[in-house]
Amino acid sequence: MSVWSRLYAIVDAGVAARAGWTPPDLARAYLDGGARLVQLRAWGVDAATQLGWCQEIVRLAAPLGARVIVNDRCDLALMAGADGVHLGQHDLPIEAARRLLGSTALIGVSTHNAQQVDAAVRQPVSYLAIGPVYDTRTKDTGHAAVGLEAVRRTSAVVGTRPVVAIGGITLATAPDVIAAGAASVALIADLLVGGDPACRVREYVDALGGS
């Protein structure tokens, strides 16, 4: 899939459990709705369980040409045959992840300010995430909302690499975030609004003009 997906659907194991979903079943719903870029995030879950979830999600995504990213865990991404990994500021160094995963893997990094963006663009990353764009209760980031101006600035300095905007984005605000220069909007909690994740994803796909 050569075109970067406008919707970046994050399957957070904790959020999924509170809504009554297993991560693979929630990923299936997102894929059924049209998501073609999915991340598994499972903090605090044992490695064996995470690996099983990764393998199942990769199996579901493969026939659709969808891409699967694993949060933090390069080892699990490798073993499950996922497309890449997403790293935070305090995770494995980007260059080490690139050596482990190879030149074609997708490697993303979270950034929260201009200094982190400027450092990341000098690294072998595939995409940069910037946020939180708006205030969010899904994750205690420890960072203030950066707003659309940070999305604009980041998109101006990353060159051809996609910018993924995350944090407090809703169906109402997602088009504004894309208009500010983001290639994708990353969603967690808002994809569960209404209780029908596949339908909610379809709403996003329609609003953003494609998956």
Quote the CA–CA distance of 70 and 78 in Å, as a whole number: 10
Q: Which of 5, 6, 73, 110 is catalytic?
A: 110
Quote the CA–CA distance of 52 and 80 in Å, as a whole number: 8
Q: Which of 6, 98, 139, 200 is catalytic?
A: 139
Helix, strand, coil % over all residues of the chain, rounded to 5 = 45, 20, 40
Quote the CA–CA distance of 144 and 133 in Å, as a whole number: 9
Ranges assigned E (strand) in 117-162: 127-130
Quote the CA–CA distance of 111 and 129 in Å, as a whole number: 6
Q: Which of 28, 41, 98, 200 is catalytic?
A: 41
Query: Is 139 a catalytic site residue?
Result: yes
Quote the CA–CA distance of 92 and 26 in Å, as a whole number: 27
How many other C-beta atoms can be found within 10 angstroms of the C-beta atom of residue 43?
Answer: 11
Question: Can you tell me whether residue 88 is helix, strand or coil?
Answer: coil
User: Which residues are catalytic, by number?
Assistant: 41, 110, 139
